[in-house]
Amino acid sequence: MIKEKLVNGLNTYGKMTLGGMCKDCIFGKYTACPYNSTTIKEKKVLEHVHIDLWSPAQVQLVGGAIYFMAITDRFLSYQTVAFLLSKSAEATLKVFKTYHKEAECQTGRKLKRVRMDIKKEWFNNVWEQYCNSEGLDFEFAIPYVH
């Protein structure tokens, strides 16, 4: 408005530059609201595990895989990664079962909660039966939220 002299009576001297954006402009460009400062901290190993699927790779990975699945213990931030040929429920559950058994044997603790950072499209009766038989609480994160 200053540059184009669109406001009558607004006199400026020298070069006018903006040092940033106003608060409304900044919030108007947000795609997601910032998180509040309260987060729940896990107190023990295997209290809460997070699964994230990454796909598809533009170039085939190890052994022809185009997907990978990361499993993270939120207390330790310990992460296990597995390469997959497909992201079907059967393929992901096979990897998770291996992780589940190894983690419980190595820590002597029971896995309690699992969170998925993905859509429910591959979570079906196979996963549901396994979770029910093992007594796992499953929760899904909101899609497209980091």
The secondary structure of the chain as a DSSP string is -TTTT-STT----S----SS--HHHHHHT-SSPPPPS--PPP-STTSEEEEEEE---SS--GGG--EEEEEEETTTTEEEEEEES---HHHHHHHHHHHHHHHHHHHS----EEEE-S-GGG--HHHHHHHHHHT-EEEEPPTT--
Q: Is residue 18 part of a domain?
A: no
Q: Is residue 4 part of a domain?
A: no
pLDDT per residue as tens, the chain (146 positions): 667 777 777 666 666 665 666 777 776 766 666 666 666 788 899 999 999 888 788 888 778 899 889 999 989 888 999 999 888 888 899 999 999 999 999 999 999 999 887 666 667 788 889 989 999 998 887 766 65
Q: What's the whole-model pTM score?
A: 0.70
Q: Is residue 19 part of a domain?
A: no
**Total number of domains constituting the chain:** 1
Q: Is residue 14 part of a domain?
A: no
